[in-house]
Amino acid sequence: MSKQQRAKLVVGNWKMHGRLAANATLLQAVAQGSGELPADVRVGVCVPGVYLAQTQALLEGSRVEWGVQDVSAFTHGAYTGEVAAPMVTDFGAMLAIVGHSERRAYHRESAELVAVKTQRALEAGLTPIVCVGETLEEREAGSTEQVVGAQLDEVLAKLSAQEAARLVVAYEPVWAIGTGKSATAEQAQAVHAFLRARLAAKGAADVPLLYGGSVKPENAEELFRQPDIDGGLIGGASLKDQDFLAICRAAAVTSVAG
């Protein structure tokens, strides 16, 4: 499938932000604003799990998909504090971020654990958004492809081609997350092309590849115009309805229908 045939996907990653009142305003604005986007632009939000019921109530019937930022590697049992993927689907969720760099760094999630979480999400019928990305040190050492390749391979090794085809993969350079310093469109495209080739070798060439890391209304369009960038995973800017919707519109103008 060529770039022109792949839909665009923009997903907000709220991280540990939000309260009931602010969420309601944001979700209603996103539901309403996204109604004006062309059909080949998908929009999603990944919220803190405790707000899933609220999110479902406010987004059901809209075109916005929703989900969580992590799932447990276990299906059920004595795992205090964990939330299992099937629980998330009780609230109509479709998406689950796995392997975000903040979880890899602050919760010591290994590549192996991320791969198991991806399997649990798939088994529950969720679309895992598998995050990969290198640190500044790794980039400067010239090992970006080695690092993101190893992170992706660990996941792909556990999946069939059919399962791999159900993934979304997000390239998020650690040095670009929350820093205001996005990768350039050329830097991001180069890594996306590398990831695309890896996925193609697994028989999953059409997996949506999102870029994440300081995506803003000002840089979204240039990023989304790259042949292997199918959309974005948006942190800070997803908390401001007007910014998030502007990024969705940038996806729309770079989509087939746009």
Number of residues that bind ligand PGA (CB under 6 A): 13
Six token digits for residue 30: 């996103």
CB-count burial class (<10 Å; 0-12, 13-18, 19+) for 242 = exposed
Residue 247 CA: distances (Å) to CA of 7, 14, 46, 119, 123: 15, 15, 16, 30, 31
Binding region for substrate: 13-15, 178, 214, 235-236
* Residue among 242, 213, 235 nearest 69 (CA): 235
**213 scored as a contact of ligand PGA (CB under 6 A):** yes
Contact in structure between 196 and 229 (CB atoms under 8 Å):
no
Cβ at position 237, least distance to ligand PGA in Å: 6
**Residue owning tokens 């540990």:** 16
Q: Which is nearer to ligand PGA, 85 or 237 (CB)?
A: 237
* Residue among 219, 222, 254 nearest 234 (CA): 219
**109 scored as a contact of ligand PGA (CB under 6 A):** no
Site for ligand PGA in 224-243 (CB under 6 A): 233-237
Which of these segments, 116-124, 138-146, 170-178, 199-207, binds ligand PGA (CB under 6 A)? 170-178
**203 scored as a contact of ligand PGA (CB under 6 A):** no
Cβ at position 145, least distance to ligand PGA in Å: 21
Angle at 11 between CA 19 and CA 31, to 5 degrees: 65
Cβ at position 180, least distance to ligand PGA in Å: 8
Distance CA 160, CA 126 (A): 16
- DSSP one-letter code for 184: P
Binding region: 13-15, 178, 214, 235-236
Element (H, E) at 252: helix 241-253
Site for ligand PGA in 171-190 (CB under 6 A): 172, 177-178
The residues annotated with a catalytic role in the active site are 100, 172
Q: Which of 33, 99, 212, 231 touches ligand PGA by CB under 6 A?
A: 212
3-state secondary structure of 108: coil
Q: Which of 215, 229, 248, 251 touches ligand PGA by CB under 6 A?
A: 215
Cβ at position 76, least distance to ligand PGA in Å: 28
Residues at the site binding ligand PGA, with contacts judged by CB under 6 A: 13, 172, 177-178, 212-215, 233-237
